[in-house]
């Protein structure tokens, strides 16, 4: 694949990459920086892409691994941030016709997701993107049954976290 084709693929999957970055970042600026790092890593890693998995599976894996590495590196350099930075930015993109109650539910869900560990957060991200369990298993290097069990546990944990948030 040529350089132009790689750039085109990154552009095509940009919304997906941005979602990964938003899920793992604390604010928009950090998300933008993480997005750049993910794109660089995709560019560097592309020559190793063998086509054994779907391109989207490979892209998710590189994006998620880069995001997790980014936050681990950033945690070493940061000593804290404001509560406003910790909020997931849902209000900017929420359609005007969504009720305030729904907005609060979405905010509560995102606050709960932010409290999950990296593996569980990745699982939720992929689930919310409606990625099939078989593909999630490939991305995460687990069995489909393990993914199903983990997903059931994560759903229960999210419900508890959201109930505690009220």
Domain CATH number, residue 36: 1.10.1740.10
Both 3 and 68 in a single domain? yes
Tens of pLDDT along 75-111? 665 544 443 334 444 444 555 556 777 778 888 888 8
Residues 125 and 151 sit within 8 Å (Cβ to Cβ):
no
Q: What pLDDT is attached to residue 74?
A: 76
d(CA 97, CA 132): 30
Q: Which residue has the tokens 């997005």?
A: 35
Of the chain, the percentage scoring pLDDT greater than 90 comes to: 30
For the four alpha carbons of 158, 70, 28 and 86, in that order, the dihedral sign comes to positive
Q: What is the pLDDT of residue 77?
A: 58
Element (H, E) at 34: helix 28-45
- Mean pLDDT across 145-160: 94
105 and 46 in a common domain: no
Domain match, 8 and 54 both: yes
- In a domain, residue 144? The reply is yes
**For residue 10, what are the contacts with CB-CB under 8 A and spacing of at least 6?**
17, 39, 42, 43
Is 89 contained in some domain?
Answer: no
Instruction: Please state the domain count of the chain.
Output: 2
Residue 125 sits in the same domain as residue 157: yes
> For the domain that residue 146 is a member of, what is the CATH number?
1.10.10.10
Residue 87 lies in a domain: no
Supply angle C-alpha 11, 33, 123, rounded to 5: 75
Mean pLDDT over the full length of the chain: 82
pTM: 0.65
Judgement on whether residues 9 and 59 belong to the same structural domain of the protein: yes
State how far the alpha carbon of 156 is from the alpha carbons of 24, 106, 108, 132, in Å: 21, 16, 15, 20
Tell me the two tokens of residue 163: 């109930």
- What's residue 3's pLDDT? 72
């Amino acid at each position: 694949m040529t350089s132009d084709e790689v750039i085109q693929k990154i552009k095509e999957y940009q919304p997906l990459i941005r979602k990964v970055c938003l899920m793992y970042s604390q604010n928009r600026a950090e998300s933008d920086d993480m997005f750049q790092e993910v794109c660089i890593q995709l560019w560097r890693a592309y020559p190793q892409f063998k086509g054994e998995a779907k391109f989207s599976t490979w892209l998710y894996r590189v994006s998620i691994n880069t995001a997790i590495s980014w936050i681990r590196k950033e945690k070493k350099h940061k000593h804290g941030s404001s509560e406003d930075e910790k909020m997931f930015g849902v209000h900017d993109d929420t359609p005007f016709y969504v009720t305030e109650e729904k907005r609060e539910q979405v905010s509560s869900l995102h606050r709960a997701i932010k409290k999950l560990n990296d593996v569980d957060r990745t699982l939720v991200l992929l689930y919310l993107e409606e990625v099939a369990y078989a593909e999630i298993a490939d991305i995460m290097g687990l069995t489909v049954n393990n993914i199903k069990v983990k997903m059931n546990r994560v759903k229960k944990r999210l419900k508890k976290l959201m109930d505690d948030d009220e």
